[in-house]
C-alpha cells in the first residue's frame, strides 16, 4: 500500500495538469482505496467561474467512473501555491459521501513540508447525511 508521502506526490503530479487559467491556482488530488487502487484529479476551471471543478471531486469522480468498488481510505490534496491546501466545503461534503461507516483521512502538505493528516469527521463535523 502506498504511503502518505507517495500519495501527496501523486497529488502534486496531478496538480501540474490543472486547467486553471483564471485563478492560476493549480490543485491536485489523489484518492486511495482499500483495493490499493488510486485515482488522480486536478481542478478544471471555466470562463463561467462558478462551473469550475475542484481537484478532489475530479479524483473521486474518476474513481467512480473507473468502477472502483473498494472503500475510500485516504485523499491527498496538493497545490504548489500554498502549504496546507485544505479541501473546500463542497469537497468535504463529497469526501464525507464516500466515508460512510468509516473515517477517511485527508492528507495535506504541512508547513514544514511533511504530511498533515486530518480525518473527514474533523474537517466536516455534523456533515449532512441521508
Ligand atoms: N480548488 C480545488 O481544486 N480544491 C479545493 O478544495 C479548493 C479550490 C480550486 C478551485 C479553483 O479552480 C481554484 O482552486 C481557486 O479557487
Q: How does pLDDT run across 58-94, given as a tens digit for each residue?
A: 999 999 999 999 999 999 999 999 999 999 999 999 9
Question: In angstroms, what is the span from residue 17 Cα to ligand 1's centroid?
Answer: 13
The model carries a pTM of: 0.97
User: How much of the chain is in helix, strand and coil states, percent to nearest 5?
Assistant: 30, 25, 45
Closest CA to 27 of 49, 61, 52, 5: 52
Three-state SS at 31: strand
Which atom of ligand 1 is nearest to 88's Cα?
A: 6
Judged by phi (left if over 0) then psi (alpha if -120 to 50, else beta), residue 24 lies in left
* Contact present, 103 and 121 (Cβ < 8 Å): yes
What cell numbers appear for 45 in the block? Answer: 476551471
Q: From residue 48, how far is each of 22, 45, 51 by CA, in Å?
A: 10, 8, 6
Q: Tally the C-alpha atoms within 13 A of residue 56's C-alpha that lie toward its C-beta.
A: 25
**Pocket perturbation via mutation, ligand 1, pick of 23, 30, 43, 45 by most ligand atoms within 8 A of CB:** 43
pLDDT digits (tens, 9 = 90+) for 91-124: 999 999 999 989 999 999 999 999 999 999 999 9
What is the set of active-site residues? 56
Amino acid at each position: 500500500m502506498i504511503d502518505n508521502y507517495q500519495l501527496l506526490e501523486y497529488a502534486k503530479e496531478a496538480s501540474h495538469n490543472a486547467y486553471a487559467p483564471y485563478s492560476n491556482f493549480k490543485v491536485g488530488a489523489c484518492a486511495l482505496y482499500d483495493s490499493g487502487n488510486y485515482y488522480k484529479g486536478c481542478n478544471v476551471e471555466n470562463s463561467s467561474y462558478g462551473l469550475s471543478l475542484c481537484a478532489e471531486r475530479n479524483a473521486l469522480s474518476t474513481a467512480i467512473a473507473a468502477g472502483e468498488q473498494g472503500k475510500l481510505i485516504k485523499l491527498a490534496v496538493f497545490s504548489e501555491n500554498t502549504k496546507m491546501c485544505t479541501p473546500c466545503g463542497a469537497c468535504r461534503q463529497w469526501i464525507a459521501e464516500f466515508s460512510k461507516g468509516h473515517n477517511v483521512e485527508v492528507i495535506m502538505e504541512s508547513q514544514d513540508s511533511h504530511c498533515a493528516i486530518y480525518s473527514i469527521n474533523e474537517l466536516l463535523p455534523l456533515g449532512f447525511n441521508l
